[in-house]
C-alpha cells in the first residue's frame, strides 16, 4: 500500500484516497464547437505511461480535496504532490529513467529478477 | 532405535510433563515442545499421508518450512494444515493426522501410488479429458476425496485483531545477527521493533553449537542478558511468536503474532494479532533454510534435514535417534556430527559427495577418532523400507552400490539465505557460484540484509558486516568476541539429484515432497515444452502448497538448468509472493467479521417495519422493507399484488429515507445545477421541483432524482439510494476541478431527514388530517411543488411528487420525529385504507406507469434519447455534463436500443427479466448462425390492476416497432413467446390519476 502525502492533511495510507487518472486534462470550455473526434478525445482518451505520470488523487476518506501528484508508474514512487491551483513541476526535476525493481524492459513484463 | 532426551544443554527440559492426544491416543511431551518434537520423543515417525500418492510421511524439518508434518487440531475447531513443527503443545490438545482414510497405517489412497503413471506432471490438465461427463461424475469426486490436505474447518477458529505501528526500524528475526543489530540501537533515538517467530530469542543460537560463547558467556546466558538490555531500552519493542509474512511497498510489513502459543484457545482475547507496520528502514536478519537432495524414495519416514535434526537436539531437547546416518554435500553438517559425538551418540555412517581432499580436516578427525564409517566421493542412490526407512543404498567412490541398514537419515543439500521477504520488497537477488544459492544483491527499498539472510555464512565476518551495514545510523560500533566451533566456509559441491537404479512404481525421487512432484516430472515437463520456470511450476505444481517449496525450489532450478544446459541464473526463480507462510483468513479479517464486516444502515422507522412483518432488501448498506407480510402464510407474490392493488384503490406509504439527499448552496448554485443536470432550471419558480437526469460526459444516464429549488442560491436534490455517495463525489469533483470559480457548497443530508412517500387516491385526504392547517388543493399545492410546514418544534418539507403514477406526496422530517410522524399517518390513515408498502411494490407500480429505474432499465449505455426523455433535456442550455456527447455520431444514430413496452399476445404468459427479444418463434436445436439479438427485457411484473403481465425492454430501433410483433425467449424452452411491442406506459397515459 502506498503512502500518499495529502497537501492538506499530510501522509496517509493509500486506502483513504481514490485515483482520478491523468491530470491536466481540462474540460473544453465550449464543447459544442468541437468535432466528434476532438470531443471524444477529451471523453475517452487518457495517457497511461510507464514512467513519470501527472495524475489526480482525491482524499476521499479525509478532507475530500482533489490534488495532483507525480508518480513514477514503474516504481510507484510518488515524487511530488501539488495543489490544483499550483503549476505542475517540470518533469526535468525528476529522474525519468524507467527504473523498475526487476530491471524489466520498457515494454511488457516478466520475471527478470535474476536475469540482469 | 529410539529417541533420547537431551537435558544437558537444551531450551526444553523435562521439568513439566504435558499430555496430548494424537489420533485418539494419549502421549506425553514437555512444556515447550512442538507437536513434532513431542511425537519424536514418543518415537512416532509416520505423521501423515502425502497429497497425491498417499505415501507415508514423517517429520522432515523443524520449522516453518515443513512440507510433510501437517496436522488438524481438533481442539481448535478443526484448524487444518497446522505445521506440527511450529505448533506448540499444551495439556489437552487434540491432534489428528491428515489425508488418510481409513487410518494412518492402512490408507486406501495408497492405491494412487500404483496408479502413479496417470498422476504425473500436468495430470490435472490432460489425464481426464474424456469421455464426456466422466470428469464431473467420476474423476472429480474421486480425486477430491483422495487428494488434498486437511479438511476445511466448519467455523472460524480465531478472534483476531489488527495492530498498527509506525517505527524507524524493523528487525526481522532475533537470532544472533538480529540481536547484535538490535543491541546497537539500545538507548538511541530510533524507534525499533523486533519481530521473532519463535517464543524465545536467539534463533540458531538455540539450535546448534556452532557458536560456543559470546563475550565469554554461554550463548543462552548472553541471549538472556541481551534480551534484558533490549527490554530496558525504552525505544525498543520485541514481538515474539510473530512471523513477518509480507514485505510490501514503502516499507510496509505485515506480521502475524500467535497470541495463544502453548495455550488452549481462550474465548475472551484475540488469538491472532496481525501487525501492520510502516517503517523507515528494515533490517532482515531472518536467517536461512536448509535444502534437500533428491534420491530414490527420499520421502520415507525417518529422513530429515540435518540442520533440523540438530535443532531438535538443542532447541527441543530430543535426539530423534542416537545413531543417524548423515549425507551431505557441504560443511554445515560438521556441527551435527560434532554435537552427536559430544553427547555420546555415534552416527552410523557419514556419506559425503565431496572428495576426501576437499573435506575439512576437522570433520575427518572426528570421523577417524570415533571410528565412524566414512564414505567420501559417495552418494545415496536410494532408500527402501516398509512405511519407514530401513535400508540405505550408497553408491561409493568406486560407483558400487553398498547397502547399510538404518532408521534415520540426516541430509543436507546446502543452505539458502531466506530471500523471500527481500524479493517481496522487490530487491534483486543474484546467483552465487561459491555458495550455490541466490543471495540478496541490490535492495529496492530501505532494506539491509545481514547474517545468513544476506548469504554471509562466515561467522568470523558478521560483527564487521553489521558495523559496516548499519553505519548509516551513526551508532556505536559493536565490539564482541565470538568463540566459533565450525568450519569457516560452506565448501559446497553441486548435487541436486542422484541417479537411481531401481525402476518401479514404488521408487520415486521427490523434488517437492508436499505436492508429490518427482524429479521425473520436471524432466517430463521440460520435454513437453514447459521449460520456462513459471510455466513449469504451474504444470507440475512444483513449489506450491503451504510450504511453497522452501526446502526444494532451488533444487528444482538446479535440475532444470541441468536439463536445459543453462546456468541457474538464466533459468531464474519463480516470483516469491506474499505471504511468506500461510496466513489465516481470520487474521486478515480481524474484527471485520459478521456484523462488523459491513455496517448496516437502518432508518428511524426500522423497528416499526420489523414489528409489522417487513421482509427487508439490502440496498447498498441500507435495510429497506421489500414487502410487508400480512400474515405468515402470505407469499411475496401475494403481498406485492395486494399492496399494489390497495395502494391504487386507497393509499400506501413507503419509507423512502434511504434516498440520497444533497444540499447545494451558494451564489452560483443555479449555474452549478444547470451544469450538473440535463434539465433547464433557470426559469423554474422557487418552491417547485423537477424530475432530473444526471449524465456522464459520455452522454449516458448516471443517476436520476428530484431537484427542489428553494431559490437560485439554494437547491435540494435527491439521488437513488445506491448512487448517493457517487453523485456527491462527482459533484465535488466538478466543483473543485472544472468549475472552481463557481461559489457552491455541497452537503450530504441523507441522514438528516426521514422521508415518506404517501401515494394513492386517498393520500390527499390523509395529508389533510395529519397536517390540518395546510391547503392541499390542486390550485394551492400543484404537482411538483413543495411547502415548508411547521410541525411540533421543527419544520417539515412536503413535496407533491409521485413514483407510482398516483396522486402522491413526499414528506421530509427530522429523524427525531420520524417514527412519531409515521405512526401518526397510520392513526389518521388506517380507516381510509392506508397500508405500508415496500420496494417491490414501488417497482411494480412505476413499471405500470413506464417510469424507469436507473440501473435496472438502464445499464450505463443508455442516453435520455434512448428512453424518449427528450423533454428533460435543456436544449437551449449552452452546456451541461454529457450534452456534447448526445450529438455524437453513435449516440444520435438510428437503430440504437430504445425503451419499449412488451405485452405477450397470450397475456397469461410470463415474460422473464433478462430474456432476449428476437425475430424468430423458436430457437432451432442445431444453431448454424447466431440468433440475432434485438434487445432484452429489463423489467417484468404481473399487474394486479390490469390483471395481466407487463414488461419493459430495450430493443433496437424500438420506437419504430410500436405495434409490431416479435418474440421473447424463455428459460429451458426452445419455443419463444409471441409478443407485441407497445409504448412503455400501461396505465393512465393521460396522467389523470397523477394530477387528480
Ligand atoms: Zn486530505
A5-9, B106-110, B146-150: which is most confident? A5-9
Question: B900: which 3 cell numbers?
Answer: 419499449
For residue A113, list chain B residues with Cβ-Cβ distance below 8 A: 423, 428-429, 572-573, 575
| B278 CB within 8 Å of a chain A CB | yes
User: B553-564 vs B519-527: helix axis angle to the nearest 10?
Assistant: 40
Is residue B734's pLDDT more than 80?
yes
| B892 CB within 8 Å of a chain A CB | no
- Verify whether the Cβ–Cβ distance B534 to A56 is below 8 Å: no
CA distances from B649 to B353, B828, B843, B847 (A): 95, 17, 17, 17
Question: B780: which 3 cell numbers?
Answer: 394551492
Is residue B130's pLDDT more than 90?
no
- Verify whether the Cβ–Cβ distance B426 to A101 is below 8 Å: yes
Select from A40, A101, A113 the Cβ nearest to the Cβ of B572.
A113
For residue B575, list chain A residues with Cβ-Cβ distance below 8 A: 111, 113
Q: pLDDT-based confidence at B908, cuts 50/70/90?
A: confident
pLDDT digits (tens, 9 = 90+) for B316-359: 999 999 999 999 999 999 999 999 999 999 999 999 999 999 99
Is residue B315's pLDDT more than 80?
yes
- Verify whether the Cβ–Cβ distance A111 to B248 is below 8 Å: no
Mean pLDDT of B267-287: 93
| B248 CB within 8 Å of a chain A CB | yes
For residue A2, list chain B residues with Cβ-Cβ distance below 8 A: 249-250
- Cβ-in-10-Å burial (0-12, 13-18, 19+) of A30 comes to exposed
CA of A28 to the centre of ligand 1 (A): 28
- Verify whether the Cβ–Cβ distance A111 to B429 is below 8 Å: no
Comparing CA positions, the residue from B821, B926, B291 lying closest to residue B553 is B291
Supply φ then ψ for residue B435, to 5 degrees.
Answer: -95, 0
- B793: which residues sit within 8 A by CB, 6+ positions away? none
Q: CA triplet B466, B313, B328: central angle to 5 degrees?
A: 75
**CATH topology for the B157-289+415-489 domain:** FAD/NAD(P)-binding domain (3.50.50)
Rounded to a whole number of angstroms, the distance from the CA of A95 to the nearest CA of chain B is 16
Residue B368: count of CB within 10 angstroms of its CB? 10
- What is the CATH number for A81? 3.30.2270.10
Select from B426, B733, B883 the Cβ nearest to the Cβ of A102.
B426
CB B337 within 8 A of CB B487: no
For residue A84, list chain B residues with Cβ-Cβ distance below 8 A: 736-737, 740
Cell 547399510 sits at which residue? B404
Select from A20, A32, A116 the Cβ nearest to the Cβ of B428.
A116
CB B837 within 8 A of CB B944: no
Q: How far apart are the C-alpha atoms of B175 and B243, rounded to whole Å? A: 13
**Structure confidence at residue B125 (pLDDT):** 57
| Chain A residue set in contact with B, beta carbons under 8 Å | 1-3, 20, 26-27, 30-32, 34, 36, 39-40, 42-44, 56, 58, 60, 64-66, 76, 84-85, 101-103, 111-116
Q: What is the pTM of this model?
A: 0.88
The answer to whether domain B606-657+753-837 has CATH 3.30.1360.120 is: yes
Comparing CA positions, the residue from B362, B366, B386 lying closest to residue B374 is B366
In sequence order, which ranges of B786-880 are alpha helices (DSSP H)? 818-829, 839-849
Rounded to a whole number of angstroms, the distance from the CA of B574 to the nearest CA of chain A is 7
CB B573 within 8 A of CB A111: yes
- B960: which residues sit within 8 A by CB, 6+ positions away? none
- Region of poorest pLDDT, from A48-52, B419-423, B616-620, B753-757: A48-52
**Structure confidence at residue B531 (pLDDT):** 85
CB B524 within 8 A of CB B125: no
Mean pLDDT of B163-174: 98
CA of A2 to the centre of ligand 1 (A): 15
Q: pLDDT-based confidence at B868, cuts 50/70/90?
A: very high
Is residue B907's pLDDT more than 80?
yes
Which run of H or E residues covers position B358? none
Cell 536478519 sits at which residue? B285
CB B499 within 8 A of CB B353: no
Question: B434: which 3 cell numbers?
Answer: 561459491
Q: How far apart are the C-alpha atoms of B150 and B349, rounded to whole Å? A: 37
CB B917 within 8 A of CB B901: no
**Structure confidence at residue B985 (pLDDT):** 96
Rounded to a whole number of angstroms, the distance from the CA of A56 to the nearest CA of chain B is 10
Which run of H or E residues covers position B710? strand B701-711
Q: pLDDT-based confidence at B848, cuts 50/70/90?
A: very high
CA of A77 to the centre of ligand 1 (A): 19
**Structure confidence at residue B727 (pLDDT):** 97
For residue A116, list chain B residues with Cβ-Cβ distance below 8 A: 428, 430
Cell 423489467 sits at which residue? B939
% pLDDT > 90, chain B: 80
- Verify whether the Cβ–Cβ distance A101 to B736 is below 8 Å: no
In chain B, which residue's Cα lies nearest the Cα of A74?
B426
Select from A27, A56, A113 the Cβ nearest to the Cβ of B428.
A113
**Structure confidence at residue A116 (pLDDT):** 39
| B558 CB within 8 Å of a chain A CB | no
Q: How far apart are the C-alpha atoms of B179 and B215, rounded to whole Å? A: 14
In chain B, which residue's Cα lies nearest the Cα of A35?
B888
**Structure confidence at residue B154 (pLDDT):** 77
Mean pLDDT of B206-220: 95
Mean pLDDT of B579-603: 89
**Structure confidence at residue A51 (pLDDT):** 82
Give the dihedral of Cα atoms B532, B538, B542, B545; nearest 10 deg.
140
- Cβ-in-10-Å burial (0-12, 13-18, 19+) of B379 comes to buried
**Structure confidence at residue B155 (pLDDT):** 74
Rounded to a whole number of angstroms, the distance from the CA of A72 to the nearest CA of chain B is 13
Cell 471523453 sits at which residue? A43
pLDDT digits (tens, 9 = 90+) for B404-434: 999 999 999 999 999 999 999 988 899 999 9
CB B305 within 8 A of CB B334: no
Cell 535444502 sits at which residue? B291
- What is the rounded end-to-end Cα distance, in angstroms, of chain B? 99
- B602: which residues sit within 8 A by CB, 6+ positions away? B622, B623
Is residue B740's pLDDT more than 90?
yes
Is residue A108's pLDDT more than 50?
no
For residue B423, list chain A residues with Cβ-Cβ distance below 8 A: 113
Domain boundaries, chain B: 115-146, 157-289+415-489, 606-657+753-837, 660-750, 893-982
CA of A5 to the centre of ligand 1 (A): 8
CA B728 to chain centre: 30
- B261: which residues sit within 8 A by CB, 6+ positions away? B88, B199, B241
The answer to whether domain B660-750 has CATH 3.30.70.1400 is: yes
Select from B428, B736, B889 the Cβ nearest to the Cβ of A36.
B889
Cell 520475471 sits at which residue? A111
Supply φ then ψ for residue B778, to 5 degrees.
Answer: -55, -35
Q: pLDDT-based confidence at A111, cuts 50/70/90?
A: very low
The answer to whether domain B893-982 has CATH 3.40.190.10 is: no
For residue B733, list chain A residues with Cβ-Cβ distance below 8 A: 20, 58, 66
Is residue A114's pLDDT more than 50?
no
| B431 CB within 8 Å of a chain A CB | yes
CB B689 within 8 A of CB B799: yes
Residue A82 pairs in a beta bridge with A68
Residue B895: count of CB within 10 angstroms of its CB? 9
CB B565 within 8 A of CB B620: no
Q: What is the ipTM of this complex?
A: 0.92
For residue A101, list chain B residues with Cβ-Cβ distance below 8 A: 426-428, 444
CB B272 within 8 A of CB B584: yes
Is residue B606's pLDDT more than 80?
yes
**Structure confidence at residue B131 (pLDDT):** 56
Q: How far apart are the C-alpha atoms of B851 and B868, rounded to whole Å? A: 11
Is residue B454's pLDDT more than 70?
yes
Is residue B526's pLDDT more than 70?
yes
Is residue B102's pLDDT more than 80?
no
Residue B70 pairs in a beta bridge with B83
CB B805 within 8 A of CB B994: yes
Q: How far apart are the C-alpha atoms of B137 and B144, rounded to whole Å? A: 12
Give the count of domains, chain A: 1
**Structure confidence at residue A110 (pLDDT):** 42
Q: Please report the number of interchain residue pairs, chain A to chain B, with beta-carbon separation below 8 angstroms.
A: 81
Residue A114 covered by a domain: no
- Verify whether the Cβ–Cβ distance B430 to A3 is below 8 Å: no
Mean pLDDT of B513-541: 91
Is residue B114's pLDDT more than 70?
no
Mean pLDDT of B625-649: 97
- Region of poorest pLDDT, from B71-75, B155-159, B571-575, B585-589: B155-159
**Structure confidence at residue B280 (pLDDT):** 96
Residues 574-633 of B with CB under 8 A from A: 574-575
- B864: which residues sit within 8 A by CB, 6+ positions away? B678, B693, B695, B701, B870, B872, B873, B886
Q: How far apart are the C-alpha atoms of B538 and B869, rounded to whole Å? A: 54
For residue B280, list chain A residues with Cβ-Cβ distance below 8 A: none
In chain B, which residue's Cα lies nearest the Cα of A112?
B572
Residue A14 covered by a domain: yes
- B676: which residues sit within 8 A by CB, 6+ positions away? B694, B731, B734, B880, B881
Sign of CA dihedral B922, B925, B931, B937: positive
Domain that holds residue A93: 3-103
Question: B516: which 3 cell numbers?
Answer: 508429490
Residue A109 covered by a domain: no
Rounded to a whole number of angstroms, the distance from the CA of A91 to the nearest CA of chain B is 22
Is residue B706's pLDDT more than 90?
yes
Residue A116 covered by a domain: no
Residue B343: count of CB within 10 angstroms of its CB? 17
Q: How far apart are the C-alpha atoms of B668 and B742, rounded to whole Å? A: 6
Is residue B530's pLDDT more than 60?
yes
Supply φ then ψ for residue B751, to 5 degrees.
Answer: -80, -5
**Structure confidence at residue A106 (pLDDT):** 46
Select from B444, B569, B698 the Cβ nearest to the Cβ of A43.
B698
Amino acid at each position: 500500500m502506498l503512502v500518499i502525502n495529502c497537501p492538506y492533511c499530510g501522509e496517509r495510507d493509500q486506502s483513504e484516497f481514490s485515483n482520478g487518472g491523468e491530470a491536466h486534462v481540462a474540460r473544453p470550455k465550449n464543447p459544442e464547437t468541437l468535432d466528434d473526434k476532438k470531443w471524444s478525445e477529451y471523453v475517452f482518451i487518457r495517457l497511461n505511461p510507464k514512467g513519470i505520470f501527472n495524475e489526480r488523487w482525491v482524499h476521499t476518506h479525509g478532507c475530500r480535496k482533489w490534488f495532483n501528484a507525480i508518480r513514477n508508474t514503474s516504481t510507484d514512487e510518488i515524487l511530488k504532490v501539488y495543489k490544483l491551483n499550483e503549476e505542475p513541476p517540470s518533469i526535468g526535476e525528476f529522474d525519468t529513467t524507467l527504473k523498475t525493481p526487476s530491471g524489466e524492459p520498457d515494454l511488457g513484463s516478466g520475471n527478470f529478477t535474476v536475469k540482469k | 532405535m529410539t529417541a533420547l532426551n537431551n537435558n544437558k544443554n537444551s531450551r526444553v527440559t523435562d521439568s513439566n510433563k504435558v499430555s496430548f492426544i494424537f489420533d485418539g491416543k494419549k502421549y506425553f511431551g514437555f512444556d515447550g515442545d512442538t507437536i513434532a518434537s513431542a511425537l519424536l520423543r514418543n518415537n512416532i515417525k509416520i505423521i501423515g499421508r502425502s497429497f497425491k500418492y498417499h505415501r507415508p510421511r514423517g517429520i522432515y524439518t523443524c520449522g516453518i518450512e515443513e512440507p510433510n508434518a501437517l496436522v488438524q487440531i481438533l481442539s481448535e475447531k478443526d484448524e487444518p494444515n497446522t505445521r506440527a513443527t511450529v505448533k506448540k503443545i499444551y495439556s489437552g490438545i487434540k491432534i489428528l493426522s491428515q489425508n488418510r482414510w481409513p487410518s494412518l497405517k492402512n490408507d486406501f489412497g495408497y492405491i494412487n501410488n500404483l496408479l502413479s503413471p496417470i498422476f504425473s506432471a500436468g495430470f490435472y490438465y490432460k489425464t481426464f479429458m474424456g469421455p464426456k461427463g466422466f470428469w464431473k461424475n467420476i474423476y472429480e469426486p474421486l480425486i477430491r476425496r483422495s487428494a488434498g490436505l486437511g479438511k476445511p474447518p466448519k467455523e472460524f477458529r480465531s478472534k483476531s485483531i489488527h495492530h498498527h505501528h509506525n517505527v524507524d526500524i524493523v528487525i526481522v528475526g532475533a537470532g544472533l545477527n538480529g540481536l547484535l543489530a538490535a543491541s546497537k540501537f539500545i538507548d538511541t533515538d530510533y524507534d525499533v521493533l523486533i519481530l521473532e517467530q519463535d517464543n524465545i530469542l536467539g534463533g540458531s543460537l538455540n539450535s546448534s553449537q556452532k557458536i560456543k560463547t559470546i563475550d565469554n558467556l554461554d550463548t543462552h546466558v548472553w541471549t538472556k542478558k541481551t534480551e534484558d538490555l533490549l527490554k530496558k531500552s525504552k525505544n525498543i519493542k520485541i514481538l515474539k511468536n510473530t512471523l513477518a509474512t509480507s514485505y510490501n511497498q514503502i516499507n510496509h510489513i505485515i506480521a502475524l503474532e500467535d497470541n495463544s502459543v502453548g495455550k488452549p484457545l481462550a474465548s475472551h482475547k484475540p488469538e491472532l494479532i496481525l501487525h501492520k507496520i510502516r517503517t523507515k528502514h528494515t533490517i532482515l536478519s531472518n536467517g536461512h533454510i536448509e535444502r534437500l537432495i533428491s534420491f530414490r524414495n527420499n520421502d520415507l519416514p525417518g529422513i530429515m534435514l540435518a540442520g533440523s535434526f540438530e535443532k531438535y537436539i538443542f532447541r527441543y531437547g530430543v535426539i530423534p535417534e542416537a545413531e543417524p546416518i548423515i549425507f551431505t554435500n557441504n560443511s554445515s553438517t560438521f556441527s551435527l556430527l560434532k554435537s552427536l559425538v559430544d553427547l555420546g551418540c555415534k552416527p552410523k555412517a557419514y556419506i559425503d559427495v565431496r572428495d576426501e581432499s576437499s573435506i575439512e580436516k576437522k570433520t575427518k578427525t572426528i570421523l577417524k577418532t570415533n571410528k565412524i564409517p566414512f564414505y567420501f566421493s559417495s552418494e545415496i542412490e536410494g532408500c527402501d523400507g516398509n512405511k519407514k526407512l530401513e535400508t540405505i543404498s550408497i553408491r561409493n567412490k568406486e560407483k558400487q552400490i553398498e547397502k547399510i541398514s538404518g532408521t534415520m537419515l540426516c541430509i543436507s543439500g546446502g543452505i539458502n539465505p531466506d530471500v523471500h521477504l527481500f524479493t517481496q520488497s522487490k530487491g534483486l537477488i543474484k546467483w552465487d557460484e561459491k555458495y550455490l544459492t541466490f543471495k540478496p544483491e541490490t535492495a529496492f527499498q530501505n532494506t539491509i540484509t545481514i547474517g545468513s539472510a544476506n548469504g554471509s555464512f562466515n561467522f568470523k565476518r558478521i560483527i564487521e558486516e553489521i558495523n559496516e551495514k548499519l553505519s548509516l545510523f551513526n551508532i556505536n560500533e559493536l565490539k564482541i568476541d565470538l568463540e566459533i566451533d565450525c568450519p569457516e566456509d560452506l565448501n559446497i559441491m553441486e548435487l541436486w539429484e542422484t541417479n537411481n537404479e531401481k525402476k518401479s512404481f514404488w521408487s520415486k525421487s521427490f523434488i517437492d515432497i508436499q505436492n508429490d512432484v518427482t524429479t521425473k516430472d520436471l524432466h517430463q515437463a521440460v520435454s513437453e515444452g514447459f521449460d520456462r520456470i513459471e510455466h513449469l511450476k504451474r504444470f507440475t505444481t512444483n513449489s506450491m502448497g503451504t510450504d511453497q517449496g522452501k526446502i526444494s525450489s532451488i533444487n528444482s532450478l538446479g535440475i532444470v538448468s541441468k536439463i536445459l544446459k543453462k546456468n541457474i541464473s538464466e533459468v531464474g526463480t519463480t516470483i516469491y509472493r506474499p505471504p511468506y507462510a500461510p496466513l489465516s483468513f481470520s487474521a486478515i479479517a480481524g474484527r471485520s467479521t459478521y456484523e462488523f464486516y459491513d455496517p448496516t444502515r437502518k432508518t428511524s422507522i426500522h423497528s416499526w417495519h420489523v414489528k409489522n412483518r417487513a421482509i427487508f432488501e439490502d440496498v447498498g448498506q441500507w435495510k429497506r422493507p421489500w414487502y410487508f407480510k400480512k400474515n405468515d402464510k402470505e407469499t411475496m407474490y401475494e403481498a406485492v399484488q395486494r399492496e399494489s392493488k390497495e395502494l391504487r384503490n386507497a393509499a400506501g406509504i413507503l419509507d423512502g429515507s434511504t434516498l440520497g439527499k444533497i444540499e447545494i448552496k451558494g451564489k452560483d448554485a443555479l449555474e452549478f445545477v444547470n451544469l450538473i443536470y440535463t434539465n433547464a432550471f433557470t426559469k423554474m419558480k422557487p418552491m417547485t421541483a423537477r424530475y432530473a437526469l444526471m449524465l456522464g460526459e459520455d452522454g449516458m444516464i448516471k443517476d436520476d432524482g428530484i431537484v427542489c429549488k428553494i431559490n437560485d442560491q439554494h437547491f435540494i436534490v435527491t439521488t437513488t439510494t445506491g448512487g448517493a455517495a457517487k453523485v456527491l463525489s462527482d459533484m465535488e469533483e466538478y466543483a473543485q476541478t472544472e468549475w472552481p470559480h463557481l461559489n457552491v457548497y455541497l452537503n450530504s443530508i441523507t441522514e438528516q431527514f426521514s422521508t415518506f412517500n404517501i401515494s394513492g387516491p386517498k393520500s390527499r385526504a390523509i395529508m389533510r388530517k395529519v397536517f390540518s392547517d395546510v391547503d392541499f388543493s390542486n390550485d394551492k399545492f400543484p404537482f411538483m411543488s413543495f411547502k415548508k410546514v411547521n410541525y411540533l418544534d421543527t419544520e417539515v418539507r412536503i413535496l407533491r411528487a409521485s413514483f407510482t403514477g398516483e396522486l402522491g406526496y413526499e414528506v421530509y422530517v427530522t429523524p427525531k420525529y420520524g417514527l412519531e410522524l409515521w405512526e401518526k399517518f397510520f392513526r389518521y390513515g388506517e380507516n381510509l385504507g392506508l397500508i405500508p408498502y415496500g420496494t417491490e411494490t414501488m417497482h411494480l407500480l412505476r413499471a405500470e406507469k413506464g417510469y424507469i429505474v436507473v440501473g435496472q432499465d438502464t445499464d450505463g449505455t443508455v442516453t435520455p434519447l434512448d428512453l424518449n426523455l427528450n423533454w428533460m433535456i435543456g436544449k437551449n442550455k449552452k452546456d451541461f455534463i454529457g450534452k456534447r456527447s448526445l450529438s455524437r455520431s453513435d449516440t444520435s444514430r438510428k437503430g440504437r436500443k430504445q425503451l419499449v413496452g412488451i405485452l405477450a399476445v397470450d397475456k397469461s404468459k410470463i415474460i422473464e427479466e433478462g430474456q432476449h427479444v428476437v425475430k424468430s418463434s423458436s430457437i432451432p436445436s442445431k444453431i448454424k448462425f447466431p440468433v440475432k439479438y434485438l434487445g432484452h427485457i429489463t423489467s417484468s411484473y404481473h399487474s394486479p390492476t390490469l390483471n395481466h403481465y407487463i414488461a419493459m425492454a430495450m430493443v433496437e430501433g424500438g420506437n419504430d416497432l410500436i405495434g409490431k410483433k416479435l418474440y421473447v425467449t424463455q428459460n429451458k424452452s426452445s419455443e419463444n413467446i409471441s409478443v407485441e411491442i407497445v409504448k412503455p406506459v400501461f396505465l393512465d397515459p393521460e396522467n389523470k390519476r397523477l394530477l387528480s
